[in-house]
C-alpha cells in the first residue's frame, strides 16, 4: 500500500484519493501515474522523491502525455532529481 503523509488522526479524502490513484497506476492507468508523479515531485501527501517523479514524468512525456511534457519543457529533463 502506498505510504501517504497527512496530519490528521483519521484518513482524509485527499489521502483516499492518492491511494485510489496508486491503485489505478498499479493497474496501468497512465494519467494516474502522472498525477502521482506530481505528488512525489512536490512531497504533498506522498514522500518527496524527485528521482521517482522524474522517471515517471520522463516516461510519460516521451509517450506524449501533455502534463508530463509541460514539466519537461518548463523544468528541463536534468533539473529534476
Residue-wise pLDDT for 49-77, tens only, equals 999 999 999 999 999 999 999 987 777 65
Whole-number mean pLDDT of the chain?
81
Residue 12 has pLDDT above 60, yes or no: yes
pLDDT of residue 76: 63
Q: If phi over 0 gives left and psi between -120 and 50 gives alpha, with beta otherwise, what is residue 78?
A: alpha
State the CB neighbour count (10 A cutoff) for residue 4. Answer: 18
Q: Where are the alpha helices (DSSP H) in 1-81?
A: 13-26, 30-42, 50-62, 66-75
Is 0.85 topped by the overall pTM?
A: no
Give the cell for residue 78.
536534468
The 10 Å Cβ neighbour count of residue 46 is 23
Amino acid at each position: 500500500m502506498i505510504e501517504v503523509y497527512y496530519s490528521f488522526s483519521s484518513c482524509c479524502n485527499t489521502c483516499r484519493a492518492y491511494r485510489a490513484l496508486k491503485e489505478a497506476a498499479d493497474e496501468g492507468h497512465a494519467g494516474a501515474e502522472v498525477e502521482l508523479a506530481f505528488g512525489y515531485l512536490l512531497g504533498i501527501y506522498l514522500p518527496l522523491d524527485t528521482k521517482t517523479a522524474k522517471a515517471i514524468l520522463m516516461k510519460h512525456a516521451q509517450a506524449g502525455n501533455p502534463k508530463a511534457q509541460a514539466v519537461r519543457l518548463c523544468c528541463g529533463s536534468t533539473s529534476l532529481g
